[in-house]
Amino acid sequence: MLLVLHFILGIITSFLGSLAPSMLNMTAAKISLTKGKNEAMKFAFAVSIIVLIQAYVATLFTRYLRKNPTFVQSLQKIALVIFALLAVYFYLQFKKDKVKTTKDKGYKNAFLVGLLLSSLNMFSIPFYCGITTALDLAGWLEFSQVYIIAFVFGSAIGTFLLLFMYLNYAEKIQAKSKGLSKNLNLILSILTGVLALVTLFKVL
């Protein structure tokens, strides 16, 4: 039963954490529109493979941090700089208010595109580090190998389900993507700014 719980937690956290429009989500939708659902499915599968690896690395990292509390203090200083830079970045993106169009020629191999874009996603590992830390503090996550594997497989499936939703509702999502992207950048700028301030208070 505990194994199933870890699997379900992976699905839920991954699905909800990726729900907002992002590069990967919108790319899945655009591939579905330009190349068809089969190619978009290949893209989603490739992304899910990378997410599985990223979630596994993040979970091991969190397990290491639990055993090395002094390292957390150094990590907080690094996080402060990262959050501050991200807040500025998202605000600048919000000011630009542009949604880049996607060209068909970039999607000759949707599977490889999925592997590449997912690997370049800088938020995935920090996201799963935060999620696993929160679940650990709540007493819901066990760090033995079998439970970690259940959680990361659930995370990969949750990501695939989310992308599957985007590629199936691609036309509706694309019609609203411009406004969503603009508002999302502002929200992310505010959130990362708040996180930077919270981290600053912890460091001081």
- Encoding tokens for residue 7? 């699997």
Specify whether the backbone of 112 is left (phi greater than 0), alpha (psi in -120 to 50) or beta: alpha
State how far the Cα of 66 lies from the Cα of 186, in Å rounded to an integer. Answer: 33
Which residue has tokens 């907080």? 76
Total domains present in the chain: 1
Helices (H) and strands (E) in the chain, counts: 8, 0
Domain range for residue 31?
2-203
The reported pLDDT for the residue numbered 117 is 86
Model confidence over 59-80: pLDDT tens digits? 998 888 777 766 656 656 666 6
Q: Give the model's pLDDT for residue 185.
A: 65
Given this model, what pLDDT does residue 24 score? Answer: 86
Q: What pLDDT, on the 0 to 100 scale, is given for residue 101?
A: 42
**DSSP letter, residue 73:** H
Give per-residue pLDDT as tens, 174-193: 666 555 555 666 766 776 67
- Whole-model pTM: value is 0.72
Per-residue confidence (pLDDT) for residue 105, from 0 to 100: 47
